[in-house]
Amino acid sequence: MSNAYLAKSLPDSSDQYPPPMTNEQALVREERKEHASMLLLLAPALVMVVVLLIMPLCWLAFQSVQTEDGFSLANYLRIFQESIYWDTFALTFKISFLVTILSIVMGFPIAYAASRLHGFWANLVLICVILPFWTSVLVRSYAWLVLLQRRGLVNQTLMDLGIIDQPLNLMHNTTGTVIGTLHVMLPFMVLPLYSVMKKIPQDLMQASESLGAKPFYTFRRVFLPMAAPGIMAGSILVFVICLGFFITPELLGGGRTILVSMLVQRNVELYHAWGAASAVGLVLLFVVFLIFWGINRFIPIERILGAR
């Protein structure tokens, strides 16, 4: 603001005392103009995010502490006092944690294979990761509904193989939620892991082994430390997306496995309880920001998100 004012006021003063414009002054002026035009270019995008995201969030924050009697923290206290709220948060964290661990365990071999293979085989592995990644989450949830139902392919195969006698209850419960959610999250783990592993030179492993290290020692002391940033980026991404995930848990949980996101949705759409919905949502947001803020010291946020 003050810059614009200054720039405007300059010509006036120059009418009276035409100042000799030094090279330095001209450069400063040019730099200011440059800064202003860059901010102007950023403006449309910023307006979109401020008006449609930041302002609504402030609004929700206001709603969460506003009751008929004026300011109140009742909506937040309820989260700690009523077991349904507390249990929902606990379950959400438990499922997110489980899915993150499982996606490390399952994502690591896939990423490793993709980074060490060449040509057709490497492409085959990557396509098996990328095709589901680009396929709508709704489509994949539908597929899991078909696969996991009582007479579905999974139960049928297990019974044909004689592993089980009775069909298992694989959906409309936490098992279904975890299977479906893991399927959505796995690519988010594999892709950052793959891009890190691809850059690890093979020579280092050979050097380690030529110096007498056993394969496992080489893996643990040479490969793993270099793959660690990828594991970290993938884990943060998976955990954070899991915390707020809605579609798959809603469809595969069948209304029995209630997560935080569903608590927000039900409070808004069924009960029109904006205060409760806002409080729950903002606690979730606070946790997510805390995680991002904590990890930002080790890996810049842009790097983590850029992995998408």
Partner 1 sequence: MNLLANLRHLRLSRVLFTLLVAAILLYLIIPVLIVVPMSFSEARFLQFPPKQWSFHWYEAFFNSVEWMSAAKVSLITAFFTMVISLPIGMAAAYAINNSSLKVVRTLQIVLLLPMMVPIILIAAGVFFVYARVGLISTMTGLVLAHIMLALPYVIIALLAGLRNFDMSQEMVARSLGMNRFRAFMAVTLPQIKPSVVSATLFAFITSLDETVVALFISGGDNQTLTKRMFTALRDEIDPTIAAISSILILASLILVVIAGRNKQG
Rule CB under 8 A: which of 32-61 touch partner 1?
Answer: 34-35, 38-39, 41-42, 44-46, 48-50, 52-57, 59-60
Residues 88-117 binding partner 1 (CB under 8 A) are 106, 109-110, 113
Tell me whether residue 229 or residue 254 sits nearer to partner 1 (CB atom).
254
Rounded-to-integer distance, Cα 103 and Cα 190, Å: 8
Rounded-to-integer distance, Cα 265 and Cα 11, Å: 57
Decide if residue 75 touches partner 1 (CB under 8 A). Answer: no
Going by the DSSP 8-state scheme, the letter that residue 298 receives in this structure is T
Q: Under rule CB under 8 A, how many of the chain's residues touch partner 1?
A: 80
Stretch that binds partner 1, among 74-82, 197-205, 226-234, 278-286 (CB under 8 A): 278-286
Nearest to 112 by CA among 35, 236, 223, 213: 223
Tell me whether residue 15 or residue 269 sits nearer to partner 1 (CB atom).
269
Rounded-to-integer distance, Cα 255 and Cα 250, Å: 6
Decide if residue 191 touches partner 1 (CB under 8 A). Answer: no
Decide if residue 137 touches partner 1 (CB under 8 A). Answer: yes
Decide if residue 4 touches partner 1 (CB under 8 A). Answer: no
Nearest to 33 by CA among 55, 62, 63, 8: 8
Decide if residue 302 touches partner 1 (CB under 8 A). Answer: yes
Residues 245-274 binding partner 1 (CB under 8 A) are 246-247, 250-251, 261, 264-265, 268-269, 274
Cα angle 76, 77, 83; round to 5 = 105
Among positions 79, 89, 115, 140, the unique one binding partner 1 when judged by CB under 8 A: 140
Decide if residue 125 touches partner 1 (CB under 8 A). Answer: yes
CB of 75 to partner 1, least distance (A): 14
Rounded-to-integer distance, Cα 277 and Cα 291, Å: 21
Among positions 80, 86, 97, 142, the unique one binding partner 1 when judged by CB under 8 A: 142
Residues 199-238 binding partner 1 (CB under 8 A) are none
Among positions 6, 90, 153, 224, the unique one binding partner 1 when judged by CB under 8 A: 153
Decide if residue 84 touches partner 1 (CB under 8 A). Answer: no
- Helix ranges (H only) for the chain are 2-16, 23-49, 55-64, 74-81, 83-116, 119-134, 137-148, 153-160, 174-198, 202-210, 215-218, 224-243, 247-253, 260-269, 274-295, 301-306
Decide if residue 170 touches partner 1 (CB under 8 A). Answer: no
214-220: Cβ within 8 A, 24+ apart? none
Tell me whether residue 14 or residue 84 sits nearer to partner 1 (CB atom).
84
Return phi, psi of residue 75, to 5°: -65, -35
